[in-house]
Structures are given as C-alpha cells and as structure tokens.
Amino acid sequence: MLDLTFQPPKPKVIAGAKADWELVIGMEIHAQVASNAKLFSGASTAFGSEPNSNVAFVDAAMPGMLPVINDFCVEQAVRTGLGLKAQINLMSAFDRKNYFYPDLPQGYQISQLYHPIVGMGEVLVEMGPGVARLVRVERIHLEQDAGKSIHDMDPSLSFVDFNRTGVALMEIVSRPDIRGPEEAAAYVAKLRQILRYLGTCDGNMQNGNLRADVNVSVCRPGQYEKYQATQDFSHLGTRCEIKNMNSMRFIQQAIDYEARRQIAILEDGGSVVQETRLYDPDKGETRSMRSKEEAHDYRYFPCPDLLPLELEQAWVDDIAARMPELPDAKKARFMGDYGLTDYDASVLTAELDAADYFDAVAHGRDGKQAANWVINELFGRLNKEGLAIADSPVSAAQLGGLLDLLGNQTISGKIAKDLFEILWTEGGDPAQIVESRGMKQVTDTGAIEAAVDEIIAANPAQVDKAKQNPKLAGWFVGQVMKATGGKANPAAVNDLVMRKLGL
C-alpha cells in the first residue's frame, strides 16, 4: 500500500474591492439510485419512456394505495454508505415532507429527516499530487424523486409526467468543508466516481441522475478557522442555496458568481439574505427563487404507512464483504504494484471499466509500459474515434498479447504500432498475426550485417559525411530498417552501423 499522505489545498481567496474573502461551501447531492424499480413501487425507472408510462397506482397517489420499500434500493444506499466509510444506521425511518405541487402527486415526499439510513462518512478529494481535501459527509438518506412539470407545450396548459415520480434518490449531504469552486467540482467528480465504482448510481448528470444543491457563503480570512475550532456557525457568513445543478461547469460558475455577488453586497455595507437561488447558465448569474420567509413549512412527520427500517448487522456485513475495490485503493495499488506515476494512476482509475481494462493488460507485465500503451495508444485512439472503452475493438487480452511480443523482443516498437493498427481494424490473435505476416524482429546479426554492408557500399558520399558529423549515422539506421521492412532490431542495427562507420 502506498502512503496516501496529503496536504489540504489552500482555500480559494477572492479579492473584493476592499478586502480578501474566502468561500465556505457545503453540498447536497441527489444521486438517483441505480435500480430497475422505484423506491416504493414496482414501476420501471427506465429513462426516456413515453410520458406517464412508468407509473404505478401508488406513484400516482391513487386513493388507498400504499408504499412498500424496495429492498434493493436500501441495499444500494448501504453500499454507498460503506463506500464512503460511513456509519450505517441499523435503525432508520421514513418521514413525510409535505408540500403542494402538481408533480408531487401524494402532496408529500417520503424522505428520511429524523433517522437517515447512513451517518457520518468522508470523501477524499484530490486537487493534485499530494494535495487533497477530506470532505466529511454528514448523512445519506433515501427519498422519492418528484415528477416533471412541463409548461412549454401549450400556451395555456401545463402537463405533468410521473415517470420519475417515486424513483429512489440518495441525498448525500456534506459538511461545509469545501473551500472553492474547483474543490466543489472535484468533490462532485470524486463522489460520482465512487458511486459509479459501487454501481449505486450511474452518475449521468445530463439526464439529471446526479444533481447538486450548493450552499455558499463568504467570510473574511481567519473566520473559518474559528468556526472549525468551535463548530459555531456564527463565525461564517449567511449562506445561500443554489438549487439543482447538473453540470460541473455550472457548479463552478454558479459558486464563483454567487460568492462575488455576496462579497459585493457585504462590501457595500449590506447583508446577505438567506434564500434559495437558481443558476441561469445562459446569463451566468444566480437569481432569487424564494426567501427564508417564503420557504415552505414542510410539516415533516413520521410516515405512518411505513414501519421503521431495521437492518441486521449480518446483512450489512455481507454487503461489506462484497464491496468492490474503490478508487483510492485502486490508485494506490496501481502506483505501488505497477510503479505508475500519480498522474497516470489517476487517469487510469478515473473510470472503473478503464481501470479494469488496464488491470487486465498490466497484470504480470511491465506496468509502466502497459500504462503508456493504454493511455497513449488505446485512449488516444478511442478519443479520436469517439468510442467508450467498452466499445474498444482491441481487447485487453489482445493488447496484453502485443505487449508480450514487444517484451520478449519478438517485435519492435514500430512493428508493435503496426500490429495495434491491425488489431484495431481487423482483429485477431497478435502472435498469429506476427507469425503469419512475417512481422518478427530480425535479431540475426548476420542478416543485419549484410544489410548494413550493402547500404554503406551503395552510399559512399553519405559515409564521408557521417564520418565528419556522427549525428548523420541515424540516416544509415533508417535505411537499414527500411530495407528490412522494420523488422530488424533497432539496437542491433545501431551498434553495427556505428562500428562499421568507425564511429
């Protein structure tokens, strides 16, 4: 295991007109639980279905319909909690959050206010080699998603689509440990990476399967440290919550805008009003959605239709025993076992399927060489052609076979690239291709010597020049490689050329 010691990053400082300011950020991430069925009904969660086609009676809040918990969603929440090194609460309970909206058929959202299923956990957010922020996760609770109101289909009518109604969400609530827009985006990215490793959320932000509410406040340097020492929020500024963002870029832009807005107010002698705001990406600004006074009174109370959720420790232990290797551990292993750089290990562990691919290629081989090939040749080609790793025409076994041929000097580096091209376009077994197409590297010095002699004899003028300027010896090496169809061992050719030219 590599020692993952790190230093916290410096908080972002924004210079106002009069003074420097720091940011304090806490986030609530809504992650759709990867599950085929909704949290309390058997209806499908498939994205992109016909409107109102994935709606059970209970989702539509028909009279007398009752929710029944989907055990798999509970398992996913527990798995997520374990992945964030969090406390799993063996007793949790569901509450009703009451408010009226057409896309909320019950008139309440079933959530977990008082007794969430997951308690305190943490996310290590790396901001560069040896620099990372440990963000504490306060809680994770399960709740129902709402439906979708559609206001732009008709000039006078609004429509509702309940396909999303009742889909399971995990709300992952952080402590105010994040200190800048870049950290916020990195936190979301890291969380997304962990969720995808765990298979508990697909992390698709475009479809809204991962959304963020961001709480932003600003304070003068030194105030945050006072808050840390006392846990007294009065040392911090008044916060505003920016709702429902589904892009890392917007999150950063919104935080930056919001911080500067608050700073301008404060430096003008005003005070920040606690409120909920929306980010408008077209205008690049946040605007007020509702103030504290207009905030809903959600009248939370325990949902009488559901019994408290009691988990057995053995069941949790069983999930823990089946946990996949998570990004931090995988990265450390890649660095330790394969000797990768921090950067390469980060690149290779960013996505689980890429990491698995690399792992298969590197296993029992030269890890650094494997990393070079996967990152430069494979990723480069995939990017160029817009393909995902799952769609790669070259399998890990094929690339491994190529590296074996390279490693035992059966082929040269140049031939290896040709071979990669053949594997990409035609497929096949690397060893067979090399055999059948005569791509083996020539290491027979007799044959190479004959080729060298021939080139030297045919180019006396070049020989003279090379003797004046030894750098020109490379020209002979190239000619020999060309004459041998690239199969000659380049090191052997180089040695012979130098010797024959008397350099």
Binding status of residue 68 toward other proteins by CB under 8 A: yes
HSE-up of 143 (CA within 13 Å, CB side)? 26
Binding status of residue 106 toward other proteins by CB under 8 A: yes
Specify the stretch interacting with other proteins by CB under 8 A; choose among 61-69, 284-292, 406-414, 469-477: 61-69
Binding status of residue 107 toward other proteins by CB under 8 A: yes
DSSP 178: B
Q: Which is nearer to other proteins, 46 or 62 (by Cβ)?
A: 62
Q: Side chain identity at 148, as an amino acid letter?
A: K
Specify the stretch interacting with other proteins by CB under 8 A; choose among 64-72, 168-176, 316-324, 360-368: 64-72
Binding status of residue 60 toward other proteins by CB under 8 A: yes
Q: Of 118, 163, 168, which Cα lies nearest the Cα of 143?
A: 168
Query: Rounded to whole angstroms, how far apart are CA atoms 196 and 355?
Result: 12
Give residue for tokens 């005569």: 438
Least separation in angstroms between residue 404's CB and other proteins is 56
Least separation in angstroms between residue 310's CB and other proteins is 12
Specify the stretch interacting with other proteins by CB under 8 A; choose among 12-20, 63-71, 248-256, 257-265: 63-71
Q: What separation in angstroms does the CA of 6 have from each of 1, 25, 112, 460?
A: 15, 21, 35, 61
Cβ proximity of 126 and 191 under 8 Å: no
Q: Which of residues 153-192 bind other proteins (CB under 8 A)?
A: 158, 160
306: exposed, middle or buried (Cβ count in 10 Å: 0-12, 13-18, 19+): middle
| Residue of 26, 81, 83, 105 that binds other proteins (CB under 8 A) | 105
The two beta strands, 240-245 and 275-280, are parallel
Q: Which is nearer to other proteins, 226 or 299 (by Cβ)?
A: 299
Q: Which of residues 299-328 bind other proteins (CB under 8 A)?
A: 299-301, 304-307
Least separation in angstroms between residue 287's CB and other proteins is 20
Specify the stretch interacting with other proteins by CB under 8 A; choose among 98-106, 329-337, 416-424, 463-471: 98-106
Least separation in angstroms between residue 95's CB and other proteins is 10
Specify the stretch interacting with other proteins by CB under 8 A; choose among 100-108, 129-137, 219-227, 347-355: 100-108
Specify the stretch interacting with other proteins by CB under 8 A; choose among 206-214, 298-306, 381-389, 462-470: 298-306
Binding status of residue 438 toward other proteins by CB under 8 A: no
| Residue of 63, 222, 364, 460 that binds other proteins (CB under 8 A) | 63
Q: Which secondary structure element, helix H or strand E, spans residue 382, and what is its range? A: helix 380-385
Q: Of 10, 388, 25, 22, which Cα lies nearest the Cα of 188?
A: 25
**CB proximity list for 340: less than 8 A, separation 6 or greater:** 334, 348, 367, 368, 371
Query: Rounded to whole angstroms, how far apart are CA atoms 286 and 416?
Result: 53
Binding status of residue 297 toward other proteins by CB under 8 A: yes
List of long-range contacts for 151-160, beta carbons under 8 Å, 24+ apart: 158/102, 159/51, 160/102, 160/103
Specify the stretch interacting with other proteins by CB under 8 A; choose among 6-14, 56-64, 240-248, 412-420: 56-64
Tokens linked to 203: 């992390």
Tokens linked to 60: 């539509």
Q: Which is nearer to other proteins, 304 or 438 (by Cβ)?
A: 304
Q: Which is nearer to other proteins, 68 or 387 (by Cβ)?
A: 68
Binding status of residue 64 toward other proteins by CB under 8 A: yes
Cβ proximity of 136 and 175 under 8 Å: yes
| Residue of 9, 67, 121, 486 that binds other proteins (CB under 8 A) | 67
Residues that bind other proteins (CB under 8 A): 57, 60-69, 96, 98, 100-102, 105-108, 158, 160, 297, 299-301, 304-307
